[in-house]
Chains A and B, each alone.
Chain A
Amino acid sequence: DAKTTQPTSMDCAEGRAANLPCNHSTISGNEYVYWYRQIHSQGPQYIIHGLKNNETNEMASLIITEDRKSSTLILPHATLRDTAVYYCIVRGANTNAGKSTFGDGTTLTVKP
């Protein structure tokens, strides 16, 4: 699976949009981009995933660049409860899903 690079940490003001970037320059054609987050002392939570089109659900939006080498997770109106570690993962269908490499992720701190 392609390797991903994320900033170590980010801050965001409560009520503002949080934009979390992820680079995956070696992504291949059949690999999806997945985003998860882990709130302290809880199991990770699935947020959203996509292949090449932008995606939106009740939690967030996922913007994937046309060349698919990077993506941005957008939390439109961040709240204090969105403070968590956010993981960007790239995975293909032939990969054991559990072997997804979580890496260190981005620690997002939402401030009042």
Chain B
Amino acid sequence: GAVVSQHPSWVICKSGTSVKIECRSLDFQATTMFWYRQFPKQSLMLMATSNEGSKATYEQGVEKDKFLINHASLTLSTLTVTSAHPEDSSFYICSASTGSYSPLHFGNGTRLTVT
């Protein structure tokens, strides 16, 4: 149980374009989902907390107008990287939890390459 699916697995886009990444909880409802970014040889860095039916909460230093998050249902959150630039190239990962003490369950990540 507690499966999180992330799509696409990898995407290449041109500089200036936007890319949407989907994160779905397949067998549970997630009122909260989390988005991370991971650069090579570094640990996960939380970007934002996605809340169903309300605005996302962004971590310090993360531009909310650049990384648009929508959590329109209890099973789907999307991250849109707007006007992507090469420095946005990274590994983006989402996760969700089923409760207060429940562990995090992660998607398999999306490798974004901006050319």
Interface residues of A (CB under 8 A from B): 32, 34, 36, 41-46, 49, 87, 93-94, 96-100, 102-105
Q: Beyond A44-B93, A93-B101, is A98–B106 a contact (Cβ under 8 Å)?
A: no
Q: Which of B12-20, B42-50, B63-71, B78-86 contacts A (4 or more CB under 8 A)?
A: B42-50
* Interchain Cβ contacts under 8 Å between A and B, 24 examples: A32-B101, A34-B104, A36-B103, A36-B106, A41-B109, A41-B111, A42-B109, A43-B4, A43-B6, A43-B93, A43-B109, A44-B93, A44-B95, A45-B106, A46-B2, A46-B104, A46-B105, A93-B100, A93-B101, A97-B97, A98-B46, A98-B49, A98-B97, A103-B43
Given contacts A42-B108, A43-B93, A98-B34, whether A49 and B49 have CB atoms under 8 Å apart is no
Main secondary structure of the interface of A (DSSP, over half): loop
Q: Kindly list chain B residues whose C-beta atoms are within 8 Å of the C-beta of A103.
A: 43
Point out residues on B near A: beta carbons under 8 Å. Answer: 2, 4, 6, 32, 34, 36, 43-44, 46, 49, 91, 93, 95, 97, 100-109, 111
- A100 near B107 (CB under 8 angstroms)? no
Q: Are B43 and A102 in contact (CB under 8 A)?
A: yes
| Least distance between B107 CB and chain A CB atoms (Å) | 5
Partner of A96, one of B44, B49, B91, B103: B49
Contacting residues, chain A, for B46 (C-beta < 8 A): 98-99
